[in-house]
Amino acid sequence: MVIAMEKKKIINNFKTEYINNMKLYSDYNDSLFKIDDFRKWKDSLIERSNSIRKMFLDNEKMISDIKNVLNELDDESADLLSNVIKKFNKENIHDSSIMIEIINKLIDYFEKKENIDYDRLIMLNLIGALEEMEFYLRMDSNNKFVNPKEKYLKVLSYKNHYDEIKTVDGRRGIFLAYYNLIGPLADIVNEERDNIIKYYKEVRKFYYSDIVQNKDDDIDKLEEEMVYINDTFLSNFIYYINSPLKDEYFKLIEKLDKSDLEKNQILSIDLAIKFVNNELSLDELVESLVELFIQYVGNGLRYNGKDANLNKFCNALDIADVIFYLLKENDYDENKKYNLIPKIGFALFDYIGSVPYKDYTSYFDDICADLFEKLLPFCQNRTYKDELLTMLILRRQPITYIHSIMVEKISVAIAKEILKNKRELFSDLIELGYDTDDKIIEYISNAAFYHDLGKCLTLGVINLQNRKLTDEEFKFIKMHPAKSIVLLNNDDSFKEYYDVMLGHHKFYDGNGGYPIEFDNLKSKYKSAIDLISIADSTDAATDILGRNYTVGKSFSTLINELNQFKGTRYNPDIVQIINDSNELIEYLDELTNEKRIEVYFEVYKKIINQF
């Protein structure tokens, strides 16, 4: 049993130290993009690695203590933990798995109280829904583990107790729930788009009801929320251009008071209405929208940390989404399309590249991946597509980028040794047409670089190093092989690499690893899968700079493990090739040890210089 004084101490320590650790973790990551002197950068990276390793242990202890408190909640500890959640939200700290666990326990506790505190329940449900939506649903919109909609609807149910909600912020929370149902949730979960009009009509009716309008002190704040709701409702017009609900939606828009909207927003809506009413051709609409887009991005819009600047980007992004949709769903001149789309995409990527990694992390990570998916169908050749991939991974996933380069270097080194001593190991690739050494090396190099693309769709957890992953987070990690195919939208130009993307975590003998449904034993690219599996494990096991939660192993120690599991987890012939070459062992030992930091620095320097 945890005594009352001890609970208070645990919660207060968690409130200060855990938040400080999260900020420090973010600051360390951001600092690496500001130093271009190798010696200073190296010192900073080593300091970061040592500090985060200690932070990992401290955070695990705090989380364990908090879980003990959650099992013995009382009024005082529940109140203190509510304030912790409020502070996390205010400080823009998003450790979603931990926050959701605390929030769900608190909601359950406060709902059972005789005197319901509606303000507190509104706050907890809104923050909990936000964390579930932004973290879990952005990675997997079909996730059944969370249900943010349920929390938003719970908040809406408190309309029946409007007079019992004590604060303006509590009452404002009802409108925030409507905003999220109409905007962000509908954007993530396609099925929810069918409910946008219903929720919009509801919130307008509620806003103009006597129970809301009679509270004079609220009106200014609630009017502000209605502006946001109107704005997000208007931004959904892309979904209704070809929808059966088109007429109903655009009639609502035509009646809407647009006095609080920006001039360009009003203009884009008017253009859409004219297009729907056949008063404007597709060419004219697209050209007008491109002009609006250019007005927002100018000669190179860059992030400066100010709301107005971020709003410009968001408005440019909204217009770009409309352009992408129109060109995808309608007949449009092919040459114009393929010239226009990359320019728009690269302008948006330039802005994203200027955003510090600690600012709006999940938001920009998601936008980056979403942009890639939208732009990919409009890229005519692999050169454009490779450039897009580099921007996607390099700008928001430097650790994944470094890992991909390391796996590529390790794979190519082993492949060259195989070609020199036992070329028949690549007989499957030779049969597929990779019939020269150069072709085999090129294929292995590309496959190794692309193998972890799916991590770009599991951004919230893939580089989490300041605490242990939860079981649910690890499930997301295990989704990344299949997510690679989702990200590439089954693009045929990458088809030759799909088996490696899917199979690099499968055991050589097929009796372990993931994804379970992929049968690596039947793959025509089995030798490449086996090779890149060994290279992937080699980099992961020896990396003490990017994986600060682990002590790390020397390559000589790792060789023992490769030999221990050859024939089951690892291809025995490839392991033997490594065993037989002292030169290869020396190279891999150096690459995974002292040379690793040089690879890290080159990638960060590339980001610093390019973005």
What DSSP assignment string belongs to 444-473? HHHHHHHTTGGGGG-HHHHT--SSPPPHHH
How does pLDDT run across 480-536, given as a tens digit for each residue?
A: 899 899 888 888 889 999 999 999 999 999 999 999 999 999 999 999 999 999 999
pLDDT tier at 346 (50, 70, 90 boundaries)? confident
Average pLDDT of the chain, as a whole number: 87
The widest CA-to-CA distance across the chain, in whole angstroms, is 85
- The strand pairing partners of 570, in sequence order, are 566
* Lookup: tokens for 449: 């670089």
State the pLDDT at residue 366: 75
Q: What predicted TM-score, i.e. pTM, was given to this entire model?
A: 0.85
- Mean pLDDT of all residues in 569-577: 97
Select from 1.10.3210.10, 3.40.50.10470, 3.50.50.60, 2.70.98.10 the CATH code of 398-610.
1.10.3210.10
How does pLDDT run across 378-417, given as a tens digit for each residue?
A: 777 788 788 777 776 766 677 888 899 999 999 999 999 9
The dihedral built from the CA positions of residue 47, 48, 49 and 52, taken in this order, carries a sign that is positive
Does the pLDDT value for residue 429 go beyond 90?
A: yes
| Alpha-carbon separation of residue 426 from 439, 528, 610 (angstroms) | 11, 8, 38
Domain ranges within the chain, ordered by starting residue: 1-93, 97-261, 281-396, 398-610
Does the pLDDT value for residue 611 go beyond 60?
A: no
Phi, psi dihedrals of residue 506, rounded to the nearest 5°: -85, 145
Select from 549, 302, 243, 573 the least CA-distant residue to 423: 573
State the pLDDT at residue 182: 95
* H, E, C per residue of 542-580: HCCCCCCCCCCCCHHHHHHHHHHCECCCECHHHHHHHHC
Distance CA 144, CA 406 (A): 35
State the pLDDT at residue 277: 84
Q: How many residues does the chain have?
A: 611
- The strand pairing partners of 513, in sequence order, are 506
Distance CA 275, CA 365 (A): 33
Calculate the CA 3 to chain-centre distance.
Answer: 40
- Mean pLDDT of all residues in 31-37: 81
pLDDT tier at 68 (50, 70, 90 boundaries)? very high
* Lookup: tokens for 122: 């509104």
Distance CA 236, CA 343 (A): 24
User: What long-range pairs does 28-32 form, CB within 8 A, spacing at least 24?
Assistant: 28/52, 29/357, 29/358, 30/356, 30/357, 30/358, 32/604
Select from 129, 221, 222, 142 the least CA-distant residue to 180: 129
Q: How many CB atoms lie within 10 A of CB 347?
A: 18
